[in-house]
């Protein structure tokens, strides 16, 4: 990713899932930015990035929602997104979605400003944290879009590596999708469930106490599946985990 120059406030795109289901993750992510000396702004008019409609074959509705975000984030400076999937949508798919539309340049200028959260932390802020937590063994799940679109997985893992009491055990199939895929999980439930079950088994095989990720969609899918299967697996957004490690008493 290209990194927009840092001057003025950092605008935070919370994602619709963090808003509705994982506000702790969103709050932690903003507190970390604040902790690192950034001036964080949360535009209240924001919402979903539009990816569900876009991927389901409803580009028109996706464009309507996309323009809402473009307007909510008017101004300058970076827009940080704590989700590889939403970041990829905002950064790479918005320009495609508007390729033949009069709003193209406005949208492209918006997309230019988008950075995935951990990519921003590592490559723009050069973040370092003091790990005050007890020793813990964790594993890491990469969302497909963090892995293949924003390329931000490395940054997230690098950050994790800097926490001295945290041991990272890698998944044997990190490259494989957890089966969420937004509406895929309800449109092709049989396949999606099979993928989610395999992911949960892979996580169990690591013997880790916590599975971390940078995508609330995957998190909801993985923990929901684990619970349904009766497994006691803790899942957490990496931002929330880090915030906990910095503030451990």
CA–CA separation, 193 and 209 (whole Å): 23
**Cβ 245 to other proteins, closest distance in Å?**
20
CA–CA separation, 101 and 130 (whole Å): 48
**Cβ 164 to other proteins, closest distance in Å?**
29
Residue 243 binds other proteins (CB under 8 A): no
Binding-site member from 192, 212, 239, 240 for other proteins (CB under 8 A): 192
Residue 197 binds other proteins (CB under 8 A): yes
Residue 214 binds other proteins (CB under 8 A): no
Binding-site member from 22, 94, 98, 140 for other proteins (CB under 8 A): 22
Instruction: Give the phi and the psi of residue 127 in degrees, each rounded to 5.
Output: -65, 140
Q: Where are the alpha helices (DSSP H) in 123-215?
A: 144-148, 153-161, 184-187, 189-206
Binding mask 27-56 for other proteins (x = CB under 8 A): x--x--------xxxxxxxxxx-x-xxxxx
**Cβ 134 to other proteins, closest distance in Å?**
27
Report the site for other proteins in 113-172 (rule: CB under 8 A). 144-145, 148-149
Q: Are 19 and 217 in contact (CB under 8 A)?
A: no
Q: Where are the alpha helices (DSSP H) in 73-181?
A: 84-88, 94-97, 104-112, 117-119, 144-148, 153-161
**Position of tokens 């370092």?**
128
CA–CA separation, 121 and 40 (whole Å): 13
Nearer to other proteins, 165 or 234 (CB): 234
CA–CA separation, 231 and 204 (whole Å): 9
Stretch that binds other proteins, among 115-123, 126-134, 155-163, 188-196 (CB under 8 A): 188-196
CA–CA separation, 93 and 108 (whole Å): 10
Residue 14 binds other proteins (CB under 8 A): yes
DSSP secondary structure letter of residue 107:
H
CA 203 to chain centre: 19
Nearer to other proteins, 128 or 228 (CB): 228
Residue 19 binds other proteins (CB under 8 A): yes
Based on C-alpha coordinates, what's the Rg of the chain?
18
Residue 179 binds other proteins (CB under 8 A): yes
Residue 95 binds other proteins (CB under 8 A): no
Binding site for other proteins (CB under 8 A): 9, 14, 16, 18-24, 26-27, 30, 39-48, 50, 52-59, 61-62, 64-65, 68, 96, 144-145, 148-149, 175-177, 179-197, 220-221, 224-225, 227-228
């Amino acid at each position: 990713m290209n990194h927009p120059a840092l001057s003025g406030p950092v605008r935070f795109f919370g994602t619709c899932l963090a808003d509705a289901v994982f506000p702790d993750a969103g709050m932690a992510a903003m507190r970390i930015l604040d902790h690192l000396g950034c001036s964080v702004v949360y535009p209240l008019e924001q919402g979903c990035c539009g990816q569900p409609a876009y991927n389901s074959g409803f580009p028109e509705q996706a464009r309507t929602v996309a323009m809402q975000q473009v307007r909510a984030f008017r101004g300058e400076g970076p827009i940080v997104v704590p989700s590889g999937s939403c970041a990829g949508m905002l950064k790479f798919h918005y320009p495609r979605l508007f390729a033949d539309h009069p709003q193209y340049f406005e949208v492209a200028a918006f997309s230019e400003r988008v950075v995935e959260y951990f990519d921003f932390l590592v490559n723009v802020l050069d973040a370092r944290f003091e790990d005050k937590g007890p020793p813990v063994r964790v594993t890491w799940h990469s969302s497909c879009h963090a892995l293949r679109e924003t390329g931000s997985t490395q940054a997230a893992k690098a950050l994790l590596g800097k926490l001295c009491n945290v041991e990272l055990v890698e998944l044997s199939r990190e490259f494989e999708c957890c089966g969420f895929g937004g509406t895929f999980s309800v449109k092709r439930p049989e396949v999606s469930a099979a993928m989610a079950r395999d992911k949960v088994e892979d996580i169990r095989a690591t013997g880790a106490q916590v599975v971390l990720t940078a995508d609330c969609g995957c998190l909801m899918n993985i923990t929901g599946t684990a619970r349904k299967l009766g497994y006691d697996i803790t899942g957490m957004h990496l931002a929330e985990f880090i915030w906990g490690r910095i503030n451990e008493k």
